[in-house]
Structure 1
Amino acid sequence: MDYEKIIRVVQTTRPFFVDDTREIKVTVKGRSDFVTQIDVAVQEYLRQELYRLDPQTILIAEEQKRIYIKPDTSYWILDPIDGTQNFIRHVGLSAVSLAYYNKKDLQFGVIYNPFTEETFYAVRGQGAFLNGRAIHVTENKVLEKSLMAIGTSPYDRQFIPKNWDVFQKVYCRCLDVRRSGSAALDLAYVAAGRYDGYFERNLKPWDMAAGIILVQEAGGRVSDYTGKEIQVDCNADICAANGFINEELLRIIGEK
């Protein structure tokens, strides 16, 4: 697999994002869940390009009919715009997130922010990088000095009591918290050492697949809320951090 070529293809999506002359047309899929014509256009463009480069691999993407992952098959896992609400409101915190899953494991991931032109990527066994420079998670060993990112699970309002109880407990014990609106970028920022950790409930495969391998290859640890390895064939709660504070985070998340 020519991952450098895949990265270049993802970077060519930038014109879809930075054209300020066109109107953004928004369709409501559910509460706090939106899609624009740009989500669909980016997905279709990448579908065609990925098929041209690798016609044997199946694409699983947010804006399409669901295809379920089988362990013995290869897949591209794509979110054409992670942080659609940010994109609609011109916040500048949105990303294309693409991962390659093969032989029961993630092999590659790229997260590209077209507004900052930052490209985070990782290859299994070869490390994690930002615009060609190696990146690593922080070496902060205590939660008290940790900058944390949280996700509020905006599609799943039934989790509000549980989520905000955990947010309060973590906030009381850490340095501070951030909420970006893009799970992919939150994970990329953990990998790059900008955050010490990040957690969110009920993420979808395309929200987290590329970010998982980024954090792992940057030296961090990723699990679900019970400490188990995440399988990207279904939704999952995610706790990603530098490997030093993970256990303390998981204890707080599990507190009754």
Structure 2
Amino acid sequence: MNMNEKEIIELVHSTKSIIYNKELAHAVTVKGAADYVTKVDVAVQEYLRKELAARTPDVILLAEEQENKNLDPAKSYWILDPIDGTTNLIHDYRMSAVSLGLYENGQMTFGVVYNPFTEETFHASLGKGAFLNGEPIHVSHREALDTCIIAFGSAPYEKERASMLFPIFQRVFMETADFRRSASAALDLCYLAAGRIDGFFELNLKPWDYAAGSLIIEEAGGKITDWNGTRLPFLANSDILTCTPEIYERIKKLLKH
């Protein structure tokens, strides 16, 4: 791979002008229940696809707005969500991000998540720590559950699971200080890495939702697994649980259903 950290981050930053194009943002296609794609998603993905292919021809692209088949864990992948938080973008909610991760040798080796509306860039390289706009970040390490803020995903694409999920939400809510819901899993993961929240959980996230953020969390001192405590697959969907190490086991127990 012949791109360094700075070059990857600068490339992701260069998508800002596409994301700020309101005409593209309001050109919406419905993919499924509460699941949308805009021309921004498509344009950002196509732009990054071309740039990454030119600079790193040996790395395969795994991305949201395309068909992904026959994935081989022995190969290297860019894992891309061109816009995480598409519904937010449509509503001008300004909690949307580009998420790009590099998967090599069975693990994530680089991740960057960029919110162009706040100009916040979270990134991490394996073994080198996690950063926000170039400054080191760490998880909160709060221990008292009743002082912790937990973010969650409500599975809006699978509303038939609400009867299973909402009792879990209630259990977690009653044991903690409060909830947050941003509707951008990539940003929730980064907010945990930065100590802004203390835990996050969501069902059935796609690889591009969590790949980059998972490395940022681990490099910031957090713990991230599926709901059963199993290592993440990175190239497949997963139910995601991430917390500060101090509260991880207690939150995992509350998620049992």
**TM (normalized to structure 1)?**
0.97
Aligned to 1:29: 31
1:77-132 deviation digits (Å, cap 9, x = unpaired): 00000000000000000000000000000101000001111000010000000000
Aligned to 2:214: 212
Could you tell me how far apart the structure 2 residues matched to 1:21 and 1:232 are? Answer: 33
Partner SS, residue 228 of structure 1: coil
The share of aligned pairs that are identical, in percent, is 47
Could you tell me how far apart the structure 2 residues matched to 1:16 and 1:87 are? Answer: 12
Could you tell me how far apart the structure 2 residues matched to 1:122 and 1:61 are? Answer: 20
Could you tell me how far apart the structure 2 residues matched to 1:23 and 1:199 are? Answer: 28
Could you tell me how far apart the structure 2 residues matched to 1:18 and 1:41 are? Answer: 12
Q: Structure 1: where are the runs of 5+ without partners?
A: none
Aligned to 2:6: 4
1:189-240 deviation digits (Å, cap 9, x = unpaired): 0001100010001100001101100100000000111111111121110101
Aligned to 1:89: 91
Partner SS, residue 255 of structure 2: helix
Could you tell me how far apart the structure 1 residues matched to 2:157 and 2:234 are? Answer: 19
The number of equivalent residue pairs is 255
Letter of the 2:19 counterpart: F
- The structural deviation recorded for 1:11 is 0.4
Letter of the 2:167 counterpart: D
Runs of 4+ with >2 A deviation: 19-23
1:140-182 deviation digits (Å, cap 9, x = unpaired): 0121110110100111123211211110000001000000010
Could you tell me how far apart the structure 1 residues matched to 2:169 and 2:140 are? Answer: 21
Aligned to 2:182: 180
Could you tell me how far apart the structure 2 residues matched to 1:152 and 1:196 are? Answer: 18
Could you tell me how far apart the structure 2 residues matched to 1:163 and 1:119 are? Answer: 31
Q: Structure 2: where are the runs of 5+ without partners?
A: none
Aligned to 1:229: 231
Map 1:9-20 → 2, pairs under 5 A: 9-20=11-22
> Is residue 62 of structure 1 aligned with residue 87 of structure 2?
no
Could you tell me how far apart the structure 2 residues matched to 1:64 and 1:23 are? Answer: 19
> Is residue 157 of structure 1 aligned with residue 168 of structure 2?
no
Structure 2 contact 205–240 (Cα < 8 Å) conserved: yes
Q: Give me the CA root mean square deviation.
A: 1.1
Aligned to 1:244: 246
- The structural deviation recorded for 1:69 is 2.6
Could you tell me how far apart the structure 2 residues matched to 1:65 and 1:20 are? Answer: 26
- The structural deviation recorded for 1:20 is 3.9
Letter of the 2:132 counterpart: L
Could you tell me how far apart the structure 1 residues matched to 2:102 and 2:225 are? Answer: 19
Report which stretch shifted further, 95-104 or 12-21: 12-21
> Is residue 101 of structure 1 aligned with residue 98 of structure 2?
no
Structure 1 contact 60–67 (Cα < 8 Å) conserved: no
Could you tell me how far apart the structure 2 residues matched to 1:134 and 1:51 are? Answer: 30
Partner SS, residue 88 of structure 2: helix
Partner SS, residue 52 of structure 2: helix
Structure 1 contact 75–101 (Cα < 8 Å) conserved: yes
Letter of the 1:43 counterpart: Q
Of the three residues 29, 44, 49, the one matched with 1:42 is 44
- The structural deviation recorded for 1:21 is 5.9
